[in-house]
Amino acid sequence: MFGTVYRHNAASKERGDWVGSPKSTGRRFTLLSGENDRGFSLIELVITVTVLSILTIGVIPMVKVAVRRQKEQQLRDALRQMRSAIDDFHRDTIGMVCTGGLTSPQQGGGQQQQQMFIDPRSKVVISDCTIFGVDNPDHFPPTLETLIEGVNVVPRASGGQGGQGLQSTGTRPGDSSSVLNSQLATKKKVYLRELPIDPMTGKADWEFKSCYDASDTTSWGGENVFDVRSKSKAKALNGEQYSDW
């Protein structure tokens, strides 16, 4: 094996030229610019490549696991976001009475509504009954698009009945109606900004369950959206299926 040693003499030094001359270095591969420079032996190169290969083999699986764990967290966040929007929507339907497609909280069943528990987090009551079909008496959102497009709402009074407690707006004393009754369609509440993308499938496509569907069913009845799950059939790092989350 030969390396190349570059030497120069006084004349070439003045001209700035370099003269290369071969020099036997045994098992070493070297390109020297001086007498004391050394290269790497073949065994050193082999050991270096082997160590780097072992480190690479060990790091790649760790990177894959970290990426998968990040996607799982994104899936949990997306499910939590949609389920919270569904719960908020259903919370705002408590106390509404549908008559001819419009809500009329102050009409009929007043005593029963006063005894109904109203979640203090609900500040409004949904005022549009036309979005609920006859097969959805529990008033869960009919679709996720309903949460994104928004629905008409009216402020909820302290008694849990929208439109009451506002007699000072020009109505007769003791009359629970208000000017808001003629403005039910002027305010909309949006419960979900956008439809999240399932990080496991890469699509904004989800599996729905109605509150009337059996727990072991694999098809959606279509009455309402009671729960949302991933369509991925893969298994998570903990052994569970993503579709069961």
Task: For residue range 177-187, list pLDDT tens digits in order.
Answer: 444 454 544 68
- Express as a percent the part of the chain with pLDDT over 70: 65
233 versus 111: the higher-pLDDT residue is 233
For residues 118 and 224, state if they share a domain.
Answer: yes
Confidence of residue 105 (pLDDT cuts 50, 70, 90): very low
Domain that holds residue 28: 2-38
Same domain, 30 and 106: no
Please indicate, yes or no, whether residues 80 and 134 belong to a single structural domain of this protein.
yes
What's 3's DSSP letter? E
Band (pLDDT 50/70/90 cuts) for residue 90 is: very high
Q: Are residues 107 and 158 in the same domain?
A: yes
For residue 121, is it within any domain? Answer: yes
Mean pLDDT of the 3-13 span: 49
149-191 pLDDT, tens digit per residue, is 999 999 987 554 444 434 444 444 444 444 445 454 468 999 9
Look at residue 23 and tell me if it is in a domain: yes
Q: What does the pLDDT read at residue 152?
A: 92
**Gap between the Cα atoms of 79 and 206, Å rounded:** 10
Q: Is the pLDDT of residue 104 over 60?
A: no
Does residue 45 belong to any structural domain of this protein?
no
Q: Check whether residue 159 and residue 71 sit in a common domain.
A: yes
Confidence grade of residue 23 (pLDDT, cut at 50, 70, 90): low
pLDDT at 5 over 60: no
Regarding whether 79 and 25 lie in a shared domain, the answer is: no
**DSSP state letters, 107-153:** SS-HHHHHHS---TT--EEE-B-TTS-TT-TT---S-HHHHHH-EEE
The predicted structure's pLDDT at residue 38: 64
Total tally of structural domains belonging to the chain: 2
Kindly state whether residues 28 and 110 are assigned to the same domain: no
Task: Render the burial of 156-192: b for 16+ CB within 10 Å, e for the rest.
Answer: bbebbbbbbebeeeeeeeeebbbebbeebeeeebebb
Average of per-residue pLDDT values in the chain:
76
Assign 231 a pLDDT band (cuts: 50, 70, 90). Answer: very high
Q: What is the pLDDT of residues 35-79, one digit of tens each?
A: 555 667 888 888 888 888 777 777 777 888 889 999 999 999 999
pLDDT at 170: 43
